[in-house]
Amino acid sequence: MSLRKTYYFDSNATTSVAPEVLQAMLPFLTEKWGNPSSPYRLGKSLVEPIQAARESVAALIGASFTEVIFTSCGTESINTAITSCLYAQPTKQHVVTSAVEHSATKNCCAALEERGYQVTYLPVNRDGSLDLELFERSLQPDTAVVSIMWANNETGVLFPISKISAICRQRGILVHTDAVQVPGKLAIDVNELGVDLLSLSAHKLHGPKGVGLLYVRKGTPFRGLIVGGHQEERHRGGTENVPYLVAFGRAAELAHAVSADSQRKLAGLRDKLESDILREIPQTVRNGAKEPRLPNTTSIAFAGVEAEALLMLLDQVDICASSGSACTTGSVAPSHVLTAMGLSPAEARSTIRFSLDYETTEEDVAYLMSQLPRVIAELRAAASPRAVARLNSGKLATQAV
Amino acid sequence: MSLRKTYYFDSNATTSVAPEVLQAMLPFLTEKWGNPSSPYRLGKSLVEPIQAARESVAALIGASFTEVIFTSCGTESINTAITSCLYAQPTKQHVVTSAVEHSATKNCCAALEERGYQVTYLPVNRDGSLDLELFERSLQPDTAVVSIMWANNETGVLFPISKISAICRQRGILVHTDAVQVPGKLAIDVNELGVDLLSLSAHKLHGPKGVGLLYVRKGTPFRGLIVGGHQEERHRGGTENVPYLVAFGRAAELAHAVSADSQRKLAGLRDKLESDILREIPQTVRNGAKEPRLPNTTSIAFAGVEAEALLMLLDQVDICASSGSACTTGSVAPSHVLTAMGLSPAEARSTIRFSLDYETTEEDVAYLMSQLPRVIAELRAAASPRAVARLNSGKLATQAV
- The phi and psi torsions of B131 (rounded to 5 degrees) equal -95, 110
Question: Nearest CA to CA, how far is A88 from chain B (Å)?
Answer: 9
Question: Which pLDDT band holds residue B401 (cuts at 50, 70, 90)?
Answer: very low
Residues B355-375 as b or e (16 or more Cβ within 10 Å = b): bbbbebeeebbebbeebbeeb
Q: Which of A22, A40, A239 has its CB closest to that of B29?
A: A22
Question: Nearest CA to CA, how far is B393 from chain A (Å)?
Answer: 31
CB contact under 8 A, A38 and B322: yes
The complex's ipTM works out to 0.94
CA distance B350 to B303: 6
Q: pLDDT by residue (tens digit) across B225-249?
A: 999 999 999 999 999 999 999 999 9
Percent of chain B with pLDDT over 90: 92
Residues A124-140 as b or e (16 or more Cβ within 10 Å = b): beebbbbeeeebeebbe
CA distance B177 to B193: 9
**Which chain A residues are closer than 8 Å to B40 by Cβ?**
10, 311, 314-315, 319-321
CA distance B344 to A391: 82
Alpha helices in B95-201 (DSSP H): 103-114, 132-138, 161-171, 190-193
Query: Mutate which of B2, B3, B14, B77 to disrupt the A interface (most A C-beta within 10 Å)?
Result: B14
Q: A40 near B353, Cβ under 8 Å? A: no
| Residue B383, pLDDT score | 82
Q: pLDDT by residue (tens digit) across B249-270?
A: 999 999 999 999 999 999 999 9
- The answer for residues whose C-beta is within 8 angstroms of residue A55's C-beta and 6 or more apart is A65, A249
CA distance A133 to A218: 29
Strands B68-71 and B212-216: antiparallel
Q: pLDDT by residue (tens digit) across B11-56?
A: 999 999 999 999 999 999 999 999 999 999 999 999 999 999 999 9
Q: B224 near B234, Cβ under 8 Å? A: yes
Question: Which pLDDT band holds residue A384 (cuts at 50, 70, 90)?
Answer: low
- The phi and psi torsions of B216 (rounded to 5 degrees) equal -130, 110
Read off the pLDDT of each residue in B284-292 and give the average, rounded to a whole number: 97
CB contact under 8 A, B14 and A6: no
Q: B252 near B263, Cβ under 8 Å? A: no
| Residue A327 among the catalytic residues | yes
Q: pLDDT by residue (tens digit) across A127-146?
A: 999 999 999 999 999 999 99
Q: Find, among A242, A226, A379, the residue nearest to A313 by Cα.
A: A379
| Residue B1, pLDDT score | 45
CB contact under 8 A, A326 and B107: no
Residue in A closest to B108 by C-alpha: A227
| Residue A399, pLDDT score | 35
CA distance B2 to B315: 12
CB contact under 8 A, B76 and A73: no
Q: pLDDT by residue (tens digit) across A356-381?
A: 999 999 999 999 999 999 999 999 99
- The answer for residues whose C-beta is within 8 angstroms of residue B309's C-beta and 6 or more apart is B379
CA distance B216 to A304: 44
| Residue A390, pLDDT score | 56
Q: Find, among A374, A272, A368, A269, the residue nearest to A320 by Cα.
A: A368
Read off the pLDDT of each residue in B183-194 and give the average, rounded to a whole number: 97
| Residue A388, pLDDT score | 55
Residues A38-74 as b or e (16 or more Cβ within 10 Å = b): bbbbbbbebeebbebbbbbbbbbbbbeeebbbbbbbb
CB contact under 8 A, A201 and B239: yes
Burial class of residue B2 in the structure, from the number of CB atoms within 10 Å of its CB (0-12 exposed, 13-18 middle, 19+ buried)? exposed
Residue in A closest to B235 by C-alpha: A107
Query: Mutate which of B35, B231, B351 to disrupt the A interface (most A C-beta within 10 Å)?
Result: B35
Q: How many CB pairs under 8 A join A and B?
A: 277
E strand or H helix at B345, and its extent?
Answer: helix B345-349
Put simply, whether the predicted model's pTM sits higher than 0.80 gets the answer: yes
Percent of chain A with pLDDT over 90: 92
- The phi and psi torsions of B345 (rounded to 5 degrees) equal -55, -40
Residue in A closest to B88 by C-alpha: A115
Q: pLDDT by residue (tens digit) across A267-300?
A: 999 999 999 999 999 999 999 999 999 999 999 9
Q: What angle do CA A140, A144, A150 make, to 5 degrees?
A: 100
- The active-site residue, picked from B73, B85, B168, B327, is B327
Residue A97 has pLDDT above 50, yes or no: yes
- The answer for residues whose C-beta is within 8 angstroms of residue B16's C-beta and 6 or more apart is A33, B206, B359
Q: B119 near B109, Cβ under 8 Å? A: yes
| Residue A324, pLDDT score | 77
**Which chain B residues are closer than 8 Å to A101 by Cβ?**
none
Alpha helices in A26-160 (DSSP H): 41-44, 47-61, 74-87, 103-114, 132-138
- The answer for residues whose C-beta is within 8 angstroms of residue A78's C-beta and 6 or more apart is A102, A104, A105, A108, A147, A176, A178, A199, B228
| Residue A385, pLDDT score | 63
CA distance B348 to B308: 11
Question: Which pLDDT band holds residue A391 (cuts at 50, 70, 90)?
Answer: low
Question: Which pLDDT band holds residue A389 (cuts at 50, 70, 90)?
Answer: low
**Which chain B residues are closer than 8 Å to A16 by Cβ?**
33
- The answer for residues whose C-beta is within 8 angstroms of residue B335's C-beta and 6 or more apart is B154, B323, B324, B325, B328, B348, B351
CB atoms within 10 A of CB A5: 10
Question: Nearest CA to CA, how far is A384 from chain B (Å)?
Answer: 24
CB contact under 8 A, A72 and B210: yes
Read off the pLDDT of each residue in B117-128 and give the average, rounded to a whole number: 98
Q: Find, among B376, B372, B63, B383, the residue nearest to B196 by Cα.
A: B63
Q: Which of B37, B239, B243 has its CB closest to that of A73?
A: B239
CA distance A151 to A172: 24
- The phi and psi torsions of B109 (rounded to 5 degrees) equal -65, -40
CB contact under 8 A, A104 and B320: no
Per-residue H/E/C for A134-180: HHHHHCCCCEEEEECCCECCCCCEECCHHHHHHHHHHHCCEEEEECC
CB contact under 8 A, A37 and B13: yes
Residue B332 has pLDDT above 90, yes or no: no
CA distance B252 to B55: 10
Residue in B closest to A22 by C-alpha: B29
Q: Which of B34, B211, B229 has its CB closest to that of A327?
A: B229
| Residue B398, pLDDT score | 36
Helix B242-256 to helix B47-61 angle (10° resolution) is: 30
Q: B46 near B390, Cβ under 8 Å? A: no
CB contact under 8 A, B30 and A38: no
CA distance A181 to A200: 8
Residue A397 has pLDDT above 50, yes or no: no
Q: Which of B13, B76, B87 has its CB closest to that of A115?
A: B87
Q: A325 near A154, Cβ under 8 Å? A: yes
Q: What is the DSSP letter of A322?
A: B
User: Omega into A292 within 30° of 0, i.e. cis?
Assistant: yes
- The active-site residue, picked from A85, A109, A320, A327, is A327
| Residue A190, pLDDT score | 98
| Residue A334, pLDDT score | 92
**Cα–Cα separations (whole angstroms), residue A148 to A145, A166, A177, B97:** 10, 13, 5, 38
Residue in B closest to A114 by C-alpha: B87
Q: pLDDT by residue (tens digit) across A71-82?
A: 999 999 999 999
Percent of chain B with pLDDT over 70: 93
Residue in B closest to A8 by C-alpha: B42
| Residue B396, pLDDT score | 44
CB atoms within 10 A of CB A230: 18
Residues B87-113 as b or e (16 or more Cβ within 10 Å = b): bebeebbbbbbbbbbbbbbbbbbebbe
| Residue A394, pLDDT score | 47
